[in-house]
Amino acid sequence: MADKPKGLHTYRLDRESLEQLYQKYGRPGEIAPGVKAPRKRTVAPEREPGAVPLLEQE
């Protein structure tokens, strides 16, 4: 028997239950019900756009 990852739960919802969840929490791509998330995500202040982290060398 394959081991399932701990903390991962999957559910199959019917259409009505899914619509109730969307009404309460919003659809994917929304930060709140009816409020679309901005396309551009904020960048951490210590990283510039396009910056590549350097790997430590011994």
Residue type, 8: L
Per-residue confidence (pLDDT) for residue 15, from 0 to 100: 94
For residues 36-42, average pLDDT: 74
Per-residue confidence (pLDDT) for residue 16, from 0 to 100: 95
Contacts (Cβ under 8 Å, ≥6 apart) of 48: none
